Structure 1
Amino acid sequence: MPGGRALIRRLAIVALIALSCAVPAQAEPLARPGAVVDVVPLQRDRWLPGAADASLVKYWTTGPLGTPALSTGAIWIPPGTPPPGGWPVLSWGHEATGLGDDCAPTVNGDINFDYLQRWLAQGYAIVATDYVGLGTPGIHPYLDGRSEAHSVIDMVRAARAVEPSLSSRWAAFGQSQGGQAALVTASMATTYAPDLDFRGAVATGPPSNLENLAFLGGPGFPDVPVKGFNVYVTYILASMRAVHPELDIDSYLTPFGRTVLDEVETICIFEAADRLEGIGIGSLLSRQLDDPKLLAALRDWLAIPTRGYARPFFIGQGLLDPTVPAPLTFTLASELATNGQPMTFRTYPTGHNATTIASLPDATDFMRQLFAR
């Protein structure tokens, strides 16, 4: 790491901490969204190819109950001299990795190097949150859209606090779980963070409309031909059990189901897939998921807004996607179009993860237009 950049970063952190300690008690708290707790050089094998510098930052954001929560994330800086106003910033929302602390991408190195490097090479600074609860206290609230969006947005604030070369101009992008995060981010970024210049979002393979299927869950629930479906459902239930004890999620579970949820809280996605191989959702549930309070909580947790977007956004969907079936995304896109939202929707003859690369030419043009405004 160049000595000058490292020195600037250390001085910035010292100044931030000193300023926070000096403010009166009634002033803005230290745990304000985007406030930096710590920053260190990112482990070298976590660097995107071609990056000039990389850091790991811990910062405050807003958790699933609207209270302060900690997250971590990575910052990658392009090579060369930043353009006037600083490097434009892309804030990445990653796909599902698990619920345990070891599942944080900056911890286990499960980083989409090829895809992110292609954006870095275009002259964007890349910042990537781990999300609340991955490598930080508490259970990761999987598919809680607002919590994910807060992490994505506040990652930009934190990155700009330690990297003076970053612009206030930024956009969100994400795949799968991160696609949902990018869309929810797009629906709230201008109101949650008016201090930043949000331009728009790119989302590929975003899971949607799951909240409309929840009432079907019960002991007789059939096997579903969706790759990883049983893992994702257990993640949702385990997350909601931790965040919303008043819903008494355990009362919907068989003894075996409670054991499975206990296990998936600490393991990552591939291990969870092995653990749940051949296990149907019906065997985990003791009664129907049809209580109105539970269904309302699931809608609040999972739903992607279909109104209220102040900036353009792009959705890319694989027609052969076995994880996020295209009909669910078609329904989302239809609702967004009916409501007159500023959406660009494209489909590709691909599966789930392959859609990121297949959509890259279209997404690149879309992103270029966002930053040309």
Structure 2
Amino acid sequence: MTRRPLLRTGIVAVAAAMLASLTTAAQAADDLPAFYQAPDTLPAGDGTVVRTEPIRYLLDPAGVSDVAYTSKRMLYTSRSRTGERHAVSGSVIVPKAAWKGPGTRPVIGYAVGTQGVGDTCAPSRQFSEGIEYEGLFMAGLLKRGYALAVTDYEGLGTEGAHTYMDRVSQGQAVLDAVRAAQSQDWAGLSSSSPVGIYGYSQGGGAAASAAELAGSYAPELKVKGTVAGAVPADLSVLPGVLDGSLYAEFLWFAVTGLTDSYDIDLQPYLNERGKQFLADASDDCVFDLFNASFKQSKDFTVDGSSLGDLIAREPFRTMIDDQRIGRIKPSAPVLLTHSLLDDIIPYRTGRQLAVDWCARGANVRLSTNTSPLHVGGILNNATEVYGFLEARLAGKPAPSSCWRL
């Protein structure tokens, strides 16, 4: 796949997704469909499937894709940051063509980028009800024969708030999605299937966290490598970049998602305007970001403090510090990609992650690019994943950048 067609198609997909989202932005989230409602008692184990059902794609109402892939959404068990077991939704997509590579078919734990915080934003629902903008990048992996286990993350699609940017919750949701996919006979996978992990932006953070947690949380998984792009490894730098910008709503997604995870009441810190803004944003999806664009967070707080000021104080400071990625050595090689021109997650954040992991003896390759802005950086990430994973699956040594960082 060449970069130019990818760019053209990507622009069309993004534009279509923006149009679809903008036409429904004012609608309140509907009640959870029955499929996404967890039973009173969950089955034992982590990554245990509760139920599955076939996926029908909005852009393929005739089911033509059924010829090439078997696609099912799933509800499976995972754990919150505190270890509480809950149900998480996701998808498993498997090519019907026989795997032509060495060994058994690999499965990729696919960590999606920012979708939003409303239940209707969940990728497993967007396939059928909207346009999942990462479908383009998923298609490239499927074409190469990989199975995909795609998590919706905690609270995105299921009961409760989406704990956006919670390091532990997101990493565990990725790993448990892989476990769930491997347990399904129809998927043609097993516990011996080789595993890759992939993600960009929020997904880059989730993928990087999964790489760190795999050795302790899911040691039975045969993780061969991780590709993570534009990793938000240090959330403390983001208010200075995002507050008052086009992407200001992402900052609110993170603060509200984390305060829910840590059971911190944000309401006393907000003025009436802030409380209303937060209520309005609770069902927003990614392309509703214009609702908060160029707004300053200090205008929504009781004392005029910005979100950057708040997270420098307790109880927020510890909460933000807990999300730091780079303190645990990944058990398999990692490719990090990041654009020098990233306007959402500063390049220095990704480079520091590589430095931190190298200091712990990890095998890390940092691939720096100059693609325009954060959106452009995903193109490098999506194209570099193929060669990296194919080499790892073939058992070739992984080159490291640690010597030059």
Same fold (TM over 0.5): yes
Alignment match of 2:104 (pick from 86, 97, 101) = 86
Aligned pair in 2 of structure 1 residues 100, 164: CA closer, same or farther (>3 Å)? Answer: closer
Whether contact under 8 Å (1:241, 1:250) holds in the other structure is no
Equivalent in the alignment of 1:32 = 45
Which residue is equivalent to 1:278?
294
Distance in 2 (alpha carbons) for counterparts of 1:324 and 1:64: 23
Query: SS of the residue aligned with 1:166?
Result: coil
Q: Choose which of 186, 192, 197 in structure 1 pairs with 2:211.
A: 186
Aligned partners of 1:51 and 1:76 also within 8 Å: no
The answer to whether structure 1 residue 239 and structure 2 residue 257 are counterparts is: yes
Distance 2:291 2:245 in 1: 17
1:369 aligns with 2:386: no
CA distance in 1, matches of 2:326, 2:109: 20
In structure 2, what is the equivalent of residue 14 of structure 1?
Answer: none
What residue number does 2:286 align with?
Answer: 269
2:112 touches 2:199 (CA, 8 Å); kept in 1? yes
- TM-score if structure 1 supplies the norm length? 0.83
SS in 2 for 1:292: coil
Which residue of 2 is the match for residue 304 of structure 1? 325
Partner amino acid, structure 2, of 1:326:
Y
Structure 1 vs Structure 2 CA RMSD: 2.5
Structure 1 residue 65: deviation in Å?
A: 2.5
Mark the CA change 1:148 to 1:334 in structure 2 (over 3 Å): closer, same or farther.
Answer: same
- The structure 2 residue matched to 1:165, chosen from 155, 173, 188, is 188
CA distance in 2, matches of 1:233, 1:223: 6
- Map 1:136-215 to 2 at 5 A: 136-162=158-184, 163-167=186-190, 168-211=193-236
Confirm or deny: 8 A CA contact 1:226 1:323 kept in the other structure: no
Alpha-carbon contact 2:75-2:89 (below 8 Å) kept: yes
Partner of 1:249: 266
Matches within 5 A, 1:63-142: 63-82=80-99, 86-109=104-127, 110-142=132-164
Determine the C-alpha separation between the residues in 2 that align with 1:180 and 1:173: 10
Structure 2 CA distance, aligned partners of 1:223 and 1:140? 20
Residue 64 of structure 1 and its aligned partner are, at CA, apart by 2.9
**Relative to 1, partners in 2 of residues 1:260 and 1:157: Cα closer, same or farther, differing over 3 Å?**
same
Tell me by how many angstroms 1:285 deviates: 2.6
Q: What letter is aligned with 2:298? A: G
Partner of 1:327: 348
Structure 1 position 227, deviation (Å): 4.3
Using a 3 Å threshold, how does the CA distance of structure 1 residues 313 and 86 change in structure 2: closer, same or farther? same
Query: What's the secondary structure of 1:352's corresponding residue?
Result: helix
Cα displacement (A) at 1:114: 1.8
Whole-Å separation in 2 of the counterparts to 1:141 and 1:61:
13
* Conserved 8 A contact 1:71-1:133: yes
Deviations 1:265-285 (A, max 9, x none): 2221222x2221331111123
Q: Is the 2:333–2:364 contact (alpha carbons within 8 Å) kept by the matching residues of 1? A: yes
1:121 is displaced (CA, Å) by 1.3
Scaled by the length of structure 2, the TM-score of the pair is 0.76
Q: SS of 1:202's equivalent?
A: strand
State the shift of 1:31 in Å: 4.1
Which residue number in structure 2 is paired with residue 315 of structure 1?
A: 336
Gaps of 5+ in 2: 1-40, 396-405
- Whether the 8 Å CA contact 2:76–2:89 is kept in 1: the answer is yes
Aligned identity (percent) is 26
Match of 1:219 in 2: none
Match of 1:239, as an amino acid?
G
Whole-Å Cα distance in 1 between the matches of residues 386 and 216 of structure 2? 26
* Other structure's SS at 1:87 match: coil
Secondary structure at 1:279 match in 2: coil
- What does the per-residue CA deviation read over 1:246-267, in whole Å, with 9 as the maximum and x for residues that have no partner? x332222222222222222222
For residues 109 and 392 of structure 2, the distance between their equivalents in structure 1, rounded to whole angstroms, comes to 14
Q: Mean Cα displacement is larger for which, 114-123 or 250-259?
A: 250-259
Q: Distance in 2 between matches of 1:169 and 1:314?
A: 17
Q: CA deviation at 1:58?
A: 0.8
Amino acid at match of 1:284: F
